[in-house]
Amino acid sequence: MIFGITGTPGTGKTSACKLLKKCIPYPVIPLNELIKKHQLYIGKDEERDSLIVDIDTLKLQISSILDVNKNIVIESHLSHYVSDIAIVLRTSPKELKKRLSLKRYSDAKIKENIEAEALDIILVEALELCNKVYEINTTNMTVEEVCNAIKEIIWNVHSPYLDEKYKYGLIDWSEEVF
């Protein structure tokens, strides 16, 4: 099974997965590193300063990892493209702006990501592509709390109580932005 930790840049995916890596027996794979290492992209979008990923080739690479491991966790704003279960991390646009500014994102990139968060872009894509989707509001959570929430989902993925606790669609940032 492929668990995808996804969300707009700045929602806490990488930080939480660094902790997660230490406390679960499954491989935790930073997808962006895998993409660069194996050159799983077809070009670069200069305007958006990002790689154009070859999703089909990425799926093949993930399949080869699954041949060796029964379960894996992948982390990236693209992970929902190749996951069975998506765990979408969400953060209020106001907090997201702070986090992305600290990461030295350009004003244009900050605006693009805040709009994507407000419009639920990654959530909608995950709902279209994955078998199961959970949502975690990380706005006021510590990295440890985010990691624990992710672990709770991974360990109890077939439990109905998760469907309520991490139900998708309850987070709405649109009024904060538009």
In this prediction, residues 67-88 reach a mean pLDDT of: 96
Q: Model confidence at 158, in pLDDT bands (50, 70, 90)?
A: confident
Q: For the segment 47-63, what is each residue's pLDDT rounded down to a tens digit?
A: 887 899 999 999 999 99
SS (H, E, C) the chain: CEEEEEECCCCCHHHHHHHHCCCCCCCEEEHHHHHHHCCCEEEEECCCCEEEECHHHHHHHHHHHHCCCCCEEEECCCHHHCCCEEEEEECCHHHHHHHHHHCCCCHHHHHHHHHHHHCCHHHHHHHHHCCEEEEEECCCCCHHHHHHHHHHHHHCCCCHHHHHHCCCCCCCCHHHHC
**What confidence tier does 3 reach under pLDDT thresholds 50, 70, 90?**
very high
Share of residues in the chain with pLDDT > 70 (%): 100
Reply yes or no on domain 2-177 having CATH 3.10.20.740.
no
The residue extents of the domains of the chain are 2-177
Q: Does 173 have pLDDT greater than 80?
A: yes
Residue 178 has pLDDT above 80, yes or no: no
